[in-house]
Structure 1
Amino acid sequence: MTIREVAEHAGVGTKTVSRVVNNEPNVAPATAARVRASIEALAWEPDAYAANLRRATTRTRSVGLLLGSVGNPFSATMHRAIEDVAVHRDVAVFASSLDDDPEREVAAVEAFVRRKVDGLILTCVADSQAYLADLVPPEMPVVFIDREPTGYAADSVHSANVEGARLATRHVLGFGHRRLALLIDRRGLWTARERERGFHLALEEFGVPLESATVIDGLSDQDAAERAVMTMLGSPDAPTAIVSGQNLITVGAVHGLRKLDRHHDVALIGFDDVELADLMEPGISVVAQRPAELGRIAAERLFASLDSGRRLAPEGVVVPVDLIPRGSGEIRPPRRHGR
């Protein structure tokens, strides 16, 4: 149960619920009574939210970390880097998985605030993070990692998504490919949209019509990516090169290519590195992110705010990516008949 649900039940805004919980003025008696009735009907425990504006100045020596999935190696590496910074300050890191669920995002933030963490490092998925203005105490620093927020001003640290996808796409275009496919997770994710934008920029640069390329979105895991590759390569005008939008999709694409015995004649380049990529045959070419650097910078920015005793002016940090050619991205397209 969240404050937003209480507000919807009572037919008011979240700020009105906040004022009622904190016994603030400027709320009509009838409205306040309706809010309290909703709190009771929904059995909502408002003490954590009410504590936001009454927060003690003492620190709890803990931070809340929300990641896409702690089981994903990319997220796990960022997690470890953040902990490495925090442990030297004797600060505990409470981590939670987002699993790209907007409701889990809000619930996780509420849980962190309830535990009175000193600051938040968040990967976001909801359409807007404007809810944080009502939920997070004004003195609590927030840093967004991997994705940029919407509707909320705070630090952000993320990879060069557009340029990275452009670099990957230009790489296979440079080897002669003109029938390309981009595989991404759902377009609702900021990273997916940014990487698709980089893909399109590279096609335009090489004079390849956008409509001649294939974009498959909504691939939430490696099994979905594997099925997409196997279906796509069965078409008459199948792509000769695949650009994968993230590491789990790359793994699925590898499985699909190998099941079809096409891993030596269809080029593949992934965004973000994958485990054992250098031991495959051919090795998997990637544009690698720097998750450890992302985590370190995010943690250092958070602690800089905590050390200053106030929220610093928001800044955006873009971390470069690295092209690692290993073989799969350097496969040339098949020669046309008569050439």
Structure 2
Amino acid sequence: MTPLSDAEPTPVETAAGRTDESLPVDARSRARPTMRHVATLAGVGVKTVSRVINGEPNVSAATIERVMRAARSLDYEPDLHAGNLRRADGRTRTLGLLVGSVDNPFAGAVHRAVEDAALARGVAVFASSLDDDPEREQAAVSAFLRRRVDGLILTTASEDQAYLAPELRRGTPVVFVDRQPAGVTSDSVVSDNTAGAALATRHLISHGHRRLAYLGDRHDIRTAQERRRGFLDELGRAGIATGDAPVVEGLHDEETARLATLALFDADEPPTAIFSAQNLVTIGVIRALRELDRHLDVALVGFDDVPLGDLLVPGVTVVAQDPHAIGRLAAERVFARLDGDESPAERIIVPTRLVERGSGELPPRVSAR
């Protein structure tokens, strides 16, 4: 069909080749095609179109094809708000997704994986950024619920998610990603943070380092607590006094991490190796080490990958998470619940892996102070 435009009003054709004269010409040229237009073009009733659009059973394949062909030719898009009133299951075909921060590549990768899984099922995703603000968390979740989303995938910042208990009792699927919930029992998909941090620390120790520093995110964030524990536990297993290892927390962006790293090298015995427990923190450490011209003699392992980390000299050794798997598995859990899975809440742990690129393999060197 010729595209609809104000300059050249084009009426909607019927199956018999007639035009729909139910609207004035100018109104017809601007009107959004309705289910009635699809029914007329397909030669079926409006109820049949509704059943096809809403995926209801007992409609023949030939009828489905005829209706969908008519819908495509008219550029028809269902009115989800109106459909929600009529649909037997009350679903809106939408999900609410709350990620940590749009500035963080990890969150972007989770978002993409959720969207890919949702798109395959004809589901739209409403997304919002948390910025690790508990008030922002509850405001975003409230906004999702007002839009009657079918399910929630959440990264959280508040200490307790008990405010979600009424929604869980109503049967809304809620899957937590990156951080486990507190105050409620629900599905979660998380990285093995403690084991990953221990792996990074063990790797640095295996290359001869005894003066290691930890630079991490806010201590009230569950993932930061787990990574700190993995670091300190591994020091203890190696016989290194944990009280002697600098532990710097409360870092949440590149600049605070850069300044914290610079401060470490004002000490009489600066570290020969650094474990940075968050990717934005890692970037700040990289900037500081280059500013100090210490990037070739201070070992570094970061938790989570960083953009272009493989192109630096040395390349940045990281404990890599799998945000695509986390997002995909979270979406799969939501859809399984929507499809009737009533099994007990599941905690899915996604393994991490060490990616050696050079920075984590540097041997200790005597300080040039």
TM-score range, shorter chain: 0.7 to 0.9
User: Which residue number in structure 1 is paired with residue 301 of structure 2?
Assistant: 269
Does 1:190 find its partner at 2:222? yes
Contact 2:270 2:367 in 1 (8 A): no
Give, in whole Å, the separation in 2 of the partners of 1:135 and 1:305.
14
Contact 1:141 1:311 in 2 (8 A): no
* Map 1:61-80 → 2, pairs under 5 A: 61-80=93-112
User: Which residue number in structure 1 is paired with residue 316 of structure 2?
Assistant: 284
Cα deviation code 1:10-52 (max 9, x no counterpart): xxxxxxxxxxxxxxxxxxxxxxxxxxxxxxxxxxxxxxxxxxx
User: Which residue number in structure 1 is paired with residue 269 of structure 2?
Assistant: 237
Does 1:104 find its partner at 2:136? yes
Give, in whole Å, the separation in 2 of the partners of 1:210 and 1:157.
30
User: Which residue number in structure 2 is paired with residue 216 of structure 1?
Assistant: 248
Contact 1:180 1:240 in 2 (8 A): yes
Give, in whole Å, the separation in 1 of the partners of 2:137 and 2:345.
21
Contact 1:132 1:152 in 2 (8 A): yes
Cα deviation code 1:240-263 (max 9, x no counterpart): 100000100000000000000000
Give, in whole Å, the separation in 1 of the partners of 2:367 and 2:255.
32
Contact 1:139 1:311 in 2 (8 A): no
Give, in whole Å, the separation in 2 of the partners of 1:335 and 1:126.
43
3-state DSSP of counterpart to 2:108: helix
Contact 1:203 1:210 in 2 (8 A): yes
Give, in whole Å, the separation in 2 of the partners of 1:167 and 1:298.
25
Q: Residue 295 of structure 1 is aligned with which of 321, 324, 327?
A: 327
Give, in whole Å, the separation in 2 of the partners of 1:109 and 1:336.
50
Does 1:129 find its partner at 2:129? no
AA of the residue aligned to 2:172: M
AA of the residue aligned to 2:349: V
Give, in whole Å, the separation in 2 of the partners of 1:193 and 1:148.
12
AA of the residue aligned to 1:323: L
- Residue 237 of structure 1 and its aligned partner are, at CA, apart by 1.5
Give, in whole Å, the separation in 2 of the partners of 1:98 and 1:129.
14
AA of the residue aligned to 2:174: V
* C-alpha RMSD over aligned residues: 1.6
- Residue 205 of structure 1 and its aligned partner are, at CA, apart by 1.2
Instruction: Determine which structure has greater relative contact order: mean sequence separation of CA pairs < 8 Å that are 6+ residues apart, divided by chain length.
Output: 1
Name structure 1 gaps, 5 residues minimum. Answer: 1-54
Give, in whole Å, the separation in 1 of the partners of 2:164 and 2:367.
56
User: Which residue number in structure 1 is paired with residue 286 of structure 2?
Assistant: 254
3-state DSSP of counterpart to 1:202: helix
User: Which residue number in structure 1 is paired with residue 364 of structure 2?
Assistant: 333
AA of the residue aligned to 2:221: L
AA of the residue aligned to 1:154: S
Cα deviation code 1:299-324 (max 9, x no counterpart): 0011000011x654200000001100
Give, in whole Å, the separation in 2 of the partners of 1:320 and 1:135.
30
User: Which residue number in structure 2 is paired with residue 316 of structure 1?
Assistant: 347
* Map 1:80-159 → 2, pairs under 5 A: 80-135=112-167, 138-159=170-191
- Residue 127 of structure 1 and its aligned partner are, at CA, apart by 0.7
Bigger mean CA deviation after superposition, 137-146 or 279-288: 137-146
Cα deviation code 1:277-307 (max 9, x no counterpart): 0100000000000000000100001100001
Contact 1:144 1:157 in 2 (8 A): yes
- Residue 202 of structure 1 and its aligned partner are, at CA, apart by 0.8
AA of the residue aligned to 2:110: M
3-state DSSP of counterpart to 1:144: strand
Cα deviation code 1:213-256 (max 9, x no counterpart): 11100001000000000111111011110000010000000000
3-state DSSP of counterpart to 2:113: helix
Give, in whole Å, the separation in 1 of the partners of 2:199 and 2:252.
23
Cα deviation code 1:147-167 (max 9, x no counterpart): 001011000101010000000
3-state DSSP of counterpart to 2:247: strand
Name structure 2 gaps, 5 residues minimum. Answer: 1-86
With normalisation by structure 1, the TM-score equals 0.81
Give, in whole Å, the separation in 1 of the partners of 2:209 and 2:278.
21
With normalisation by structure 2, the TM-score equals 0.74
| % identity of equivalent residues | 55
Bigger mean CA deviation after superposition, 65-74 or 90-99: 65-74
Q: 1:136 to 1:103 in 2, by over 3 A?
A: farther
Q: Residue 168 of structure 1 is aligned with which of 191, 200, 217?
A: 200
The number of equivalent residue pairs is 282
Larger CA Rg, structure 1 vs 2: 2
User: Which residue number in structure 2 is paired with residue 8 of structure 1?
Assistant: none
